[in-house]
Amino acid sequence: GESVGLHLPTLSVQEGDNSIINCAYSNSASDYFIWYKQESGKGPQFIIDIRSNMDKRQGQRVTVLLNKTVKHLSLQIAATQPGDSAVYFCAEIPNTGFQKLVFGTGTRLLVSP
Amino acid sequence: DTEVTQTPKHLVMGMTNKKSLKCEQHMGHRAMYWYKQKAKKPPELMFVYSYEKLSINESVPSRFSPECPNSSLLNLHLHALQPEDSALYLCASSQVSPSDSSYNEQFFGPGTRLTVL
């Protein structure tokens, strides 16, 4: 079946460090992969997405890398700030329909000042 | 207006109660979604409405009954719930591509935290 998972449940970093959050997925036919940030008491917030025909995409302070060979997705956050503390979910759009979003298990990022 | 709003923020109900969760967006989105999120777990899709019609039901028990009265509103009617239904219920909305041919970003509301006693 389809599954999207994460290697690390919690990542602790110091303010100013670069953070890398990893995700493994199993459905090689998925079209899109997305990273969401969920702060306490809030709904998930879109960060960045990448289409399956790309291997890298950059946003403001964030970069997503896609390695289809090993079915691995990562989110890099540059100069991590305390406001980046949240749970980060990777998610995929399976090839069964563009409205079905399948979330991974999540990684909690803790940023110390 | 780029927000999805949900009411109430918190809801406590007994197993014999009937209650409703409400969701509203004014972004002109024609797809709306209900997700269920248990503590420390990822959101799980429950229902999708496209153009006010139910397009996806992820085998959700009938004690959850969705309704989309117009393009801006989405309701989730609850009846005879079980304690294990306690969770954060998230609403989301997105644009719809012709023939559902491409992905559109989903915008999430803050959720309703439901406790079933």
Contacts of A89 in chain B (CB under 8 A): 42-43
Nearest CA in chain B to A34: B105
Q: Which CATH number fits domain A10-112: 3.40.190.290, 2.102.10.10, 2.60.40.10, 3.30.70.260?
A: 2.60.40.10
Domain extent listing, chain A: 10-112
Supply the pLDDT for residue A94: 83
The nearest CA of chain B is from the CA of A22 a distance in Å of 15
Print pLDDT tens along chain B (117 aa). Answer: 679 999 999 999 999 999 999 999 999 999 999 999 998 899 999 999 999 999 999 999 999 999 999 999 999 999 999 999 999 999 999 999 876 677 889 999 999 999 999
What residues of A are in the B interface, CB distance below 8 Å?
31-32, 34, 41-46, 49, 89, 91, 93, 97-106
DSSP A11-31: EEEETTS-EEEEEEE--TT--
CA-to-CA dists, residue A38 to A86, B4, B41, angstroms: 6, 15, 11
Whole-number Å distance between alpha carbons of A27 and A4:
8
The nearest CA of chain B is from the CA of A80 a distance in Å of 23
Nearest Cα to Cα of residue A42 among B45, B3, B13, B65: B3
Print pLDDT tens along chain A (113 aa). Answer: 344 554 448 999 999 999 999 999 888 888 899 999 999 989 999 999 999 999 999 999 999 999 999 999 999 999 999 999 999 999 999 877 778 899 998 999 999 98
Supply the pLDDT for residue A48: 96
DSSP A49-77: EEETT-SEEE-SSEEEEEETTTTEEEEEE
Supply the pLDDT for residue A1: 39
CA-to-CA dists, residue B40 to A1, A27, A54, angstroms: 22, 23, 31
- A·B CB contacts under 8 A: 59
The nearest CA of chain A is from the CA of B53 a distance in Å of 14
Whole-number Å distance between alpha carbons of B33 and B6:
12
